[in-house]
Amino acid sequence: MNIIPNHTSFTLLEPGPVVFVTTHDGNFANIMTISWSMVMSFEPRFALTTGAWNCSYTALEQTRECTIAIPSAEQIDLVVGVGTCSGRDTDKFAKFGLTQLPGQYVKAPLIAECMANIECKVVDIIEEHHIIVLEGLAAYTADDFTQRQMLHAVGDGTFIADGAKLDRREAMASKLPQGW
């Protein structure tokens, strides 16, 4: 085994996929790129890590809602572009030519160009760890969802796209949510 610097160990577990989180503070829609997210349960519950360093954080705190939009691997330059500019001085929807779609439950827009979107409400904010806990309210996929790859950040400026999909549904049937 090779020893690596401990401060880089997060790159071994970087969860992915890379997602966009959209917010709307009542006046302004914004997008941030997040690679620190996770599924918490089948309910559906999710968590993401962010804080006051992101422009969208105040909107998340105040409105307690957002949309998670999942870009495809082909959108890597969009992911990096959105993630390397600030909503404090940039209308990211206009700059990157993204189409806002209305959701059913939240004011935060869905992104038409993404492969999937999940409307969410904030159910908890764990400030000590910068964790936002979300409940999914509605989910949508693009017509070509199954033909698109997700993008995963390694955490060191490199990315990995999903590979082959391996089907073990029959063997795992007892552990899957009802209806799968």
78-106 mean pLDDT: 96
The residue among 50, 40, 79 whose CA lies nearest residue 160 is 79
Mention every residue, 6+ apart, whose C-beta is less than 8 A from residue 54.
Answer: 32
In this prediction, residue 180 has a pLDDT band, given cuts at 50, 70 and 90, of: low
Residue 1 lies in a domain: no
The residue among 96, 37, 41, 43 whose CA lies nearest residue 66 is 37
- What is the domain extent for residue 32? 6-175
Please tell me the total count of domains within the chain: 1
pLDDT in tens, 52-71: 998 899 999 999 999 999 99
Q: What pLDDT does residue 107 have?
A: 98
The dihedral through the CA atoms of 37, 81, 160, 3 has a sign that is: negative
d(CA 155, CA 159): 8
- Would you say residue 94 has pLDDT above 90? yes
Q: What pLDDT does residue 15 have?
A: 64
What CATH number should be reported for the domain holding residue 170?
2.30.110.10
pLDDT in tens, 1-24: 988 888 888 777 766 799 999 999
Residue 170 lies in a domain: yes
Q: 136-157 in b/e burial notation, b at 16+ Cβ within 10 A?
A: bbeebebeeeeebebbbbebee
Q: What pLDDT does residue 155 have?
A: 86
Q: What pLDDT does residue 140 have?
A: 95
Distances (CA, A) of 109 to 23, 68, 157: 7, 9, 27
In this prediction, residue 148 has a pLDDT band, given cuts at 50, 70 and 90, of: confident
